Amino acid sequence: MMGRGGSYCVSRGTSFAQVLKKNMVVTPGCSSFVPQPASDFHTYTKPKPLDQAGNSPDKISSGPKNIPKELIERYKRGETHAVSLLYQLSQVLQFQVEMKETVTTVGPPPLPVKEREYPLSETHFGRTVFERKNPVKDQIPSTIKEMFSKLMDSYPEFAGCGGTVAAFVTQTSIGCEVVALGTGNLNTKESLTPSGRILHDSHAVVTARRSLMRYLYRHLLLFFSKNRSLEEKSIFQQDQNTKLLSLKSHITLHLYLNQLPKGAAQIPSHLRLNPLSISAWEVNNQIGLHVTIDGKVFSVFSSTFEQCGSHVVSMSATDKITQWQVLGFQGALLSHFIEPIYVSSILIGDESCSDTRGMEVAINQRVDGITSKLPMYYCVYRPHISLVPSVMATDAHSTQRTLSLNWSQGDVSLEVVDSLDGKTVEESPFKSGPALASRLCKAAMLSRFNLVSKEAQREELLTAVSYREAKMMAKPYQEAKSVLKSYLATRGYGQWVEKPPISDHFTM
């Protein structure tokens, strides 16, 4: 588990030898991973452009020839992402698409490997080359910094909350635009209630993601407005066969984090994964699932976690990002209207972070091979993960560490939430009403869902009697969610911890 200061302590867990079948070695001058087998390997070749999910499109060449023309035409018109096309074809034509590194082991089991120390200059050189090829790495942090500074010009008393900022940015040919932003580093101490009006998790990326959902609801209303000019302003386009919406083909989404998220992403950089080595069992706890309780992080294998009793438990930010990159950032309710939405890149602005190895393992490696088991439209979308300049300096001694800010494009003002109470503070520029329920709470989301259902003339969705029922009606999403949790458990990463159903059993 991870202590308050960010260091890890060893707790019990299952054997890592069953979990990871290959070594991971950081290459000089690069923050990503290269598979490094124990004894022998076949050369790893870069995937073709169609293959953004890590699977070889060449495998479809030997399949049936009666490929549905409408799928190809949708792809050519830019209405379907390449990843979605590939897996729609695998569903329709009844074949599996999966790429695996070929590893052969000769001789005795591998022994622990002594780490090679790479000069800092090599690492810096690699990052410099990447930045020259990817101006987005400069554009996104500067765009977020400009937006956050603009918001703080109006409310300078909350500037101390900026150290934990997370933001979603859309990129088009015109440039980058911040569409959702959040800060925070804690979860609530309040007990679970069936009201749906308490925010249980106010960590920055969770807050930013719920702000993103508000932004998506706003654009759904534009699309279903029956006004041509408003519809054109929407970020969505519709598939005429499935009637589901997707982001317009020229729009990509990116996630920025000012801090390395809690959980498996913070795996110590000196650890290397030799499955049969003496330290394998320890590493399993490091990259397994984690939970946050009162702002502290624990491995799901930890005995301390098992003793937490009635405390509100949330999955770690790293685990949630892992989930969203499989199920989509839109969540269950929005999946009634739109295809899964993934981020193309995750940018880390943590000044104390020297590499992204933990993020690579947590976000990409833990779910390697799951795509063929998922329902249509869902896949492992592998974002490019890299280090970028920090937007705001982290102030560990800030007196505002219990406050969480949220904003999305179209909002007139900031909302400020007390993370421990899960409610809006009296001083907040925006307040929804005397009850001080946050605009990010589940009840607020259900209200927007019902409004969009009405505008989209989806009468069947309005029959849901509770928030939970509306979520469970999204059957493909729930199927994908079940597959993900089962997959993580069978690979030895631990059981996903669900909040008690009582928190979702409310109506409007």
Rounded CA separation 202/183 (Å): 8
| Axis-axis angle for helices 317-327, 204-223 (nearest 10) | 30
Instruction: Give the confidence band of 29 by pLDDT, cuts at 50, 70, 90.
Output: very low
Sheet with 415-418, side-by-side order of all strands: 384-387, 345-348, 252-257, 166-171, 176-182, 403-408, 415-418, 423-424
Contacts of 137 (CB under 8 A, 6+ apart): 130, 131, 347, 386, 388
Mean pLDDT is highest, among 47-61, 84-98, 238-252, 386-400, for 238-252
Average pLDDT, integer, range 106-116: 36
Q: What is the pLDDT of residue 137?
A: 79
Domain boundaries of the chain, sorted by first residue: 16-22+126-493
| Tokens 């490091």 -> residue | 286
pLDDT on residue 281: 57
Provide CB contacts within 8 A for 284, sequence distance 6+. 13, 14, 15, 16, 19, 301, 492
Q: What is the mean pLDDT of residues 190-212?
A: 90
The DSSP result for 167-186, as a single string, is: EEEEE-SS-EEEEEEE----
Tens digit of pLDDT for each residue in 77-92? 766 666 667 766 766 6
Res 260: pLDDT? 93
CB atoms within 10 A of CB 278: 9
- Cβ contact 388:290 at 8 Å: no
Q: What is the DSSP letter of 462?
A: G
Phi/psi at 274 (5° precision): -110, 100
Rounded mean pLDDT of the chain?
78
Is residue 450 within 8 A of residue 444, CB to CB? The reply is no
- Tokens 């870069």 correspond to 46
Other beta carbons within 10 angstroms of residue 476's beta carbon come to 17
Cα separation, 264 vs 453, in Å, equals 37
Find out whether 137 and 131 touch, Cβ atoms under 8 Å.
Answer: yes
Residue 8 has pLDDT above 60, yes or no: no
Q: Report the first-to-last Cα separation within the chain, whole angstroms.
A: 39
The better pLDDT of the pair 282, 168 is held by: 168
Q: What pLDDT score was predicted for residue 125?
A: 33
- DSSP H or E segment with residue 199: none
Euclidean distance between CA atoms 361 and 49, whole angstroms: 22
Q: What is the pLDDT of residue 308?
A: 63
**pLDDT value at position 198?**
92
Structure tokens at 134: 């990817």
**pLDDT tens profile 380-424:** 889 999 999 999 877 655 668 899 999 999 999 999 999 999 999
pLDDT over threshold 70, residue 61: no
Q: Give the closest residue to 342 by CA, choosing from 446, 244, 209, 215.
A: 209
Assign residue 235 a region (left: φ > 0; alpha: ψ between -120 and 50; beta: otherwise).
alpha
Interatomic CA distance for residues 379 and 97, integer angstroms: 11
pLDDT reported for residue 352: 86
Share of residues in the chain with pLDDT > 90 (%): 51
Strand 176-182 and strand 403-408: pairing? antiparallel
Q: What is the mean pLDDT of residues 440-460?
A: 97
Least Cα distance to 344 among 442, 417, 256, 265 occurs for 256
Distance CA 317, CA 291 (A): 9
Q: Which of 145-159, 280-294, 432-446 has the lowest mean pLDDT?
A: 280-294
Phi, psi dihedral angles at 257 (to 5 degrees): -130, 130
Going by pLDDT thresholds of 50, 70 and 90, the confidence category of residue 432 is: very high
Tokens matching residue 481:
């969610």
Which residues pair with residue 386 across a beta bridge?
347
Q: How confident is the model at residue 240 (pLDDT cuts 50, 70, 90)?
A: confident
**Structure confidence at residue 451 as a pLDDT band (50, 70, 90):** very high
Nearest Cα residue to 24 out of 361, 492, 384: 361
DSSP state of 157: G
Q: Which two tokens stand for residue 157?
A: 């008393």
Worst-scoring range by mean pLDDT, 132-141, 162-171, 273-282, 479-488?
273-282
Residue 503 CA, chain-centre distance (Å), reads 22
Pair 262, 2: CB distance under 8 Å: yes
Specify whether the backbone of 125 is left (phi greater than 0), alpha (psi in -120 to 50) or beta.
alpha
Residue 354 in contact with residue 127, Cβ under 8 Å?
no
pLDDT for 508: 65
What is each CA distance from 358 to 151, 207, 221, 276, 497, in whole angstroms?
32, 22, 38, 20, 21
| Selected residue with higher pLDDT from 38 and 63 | 63
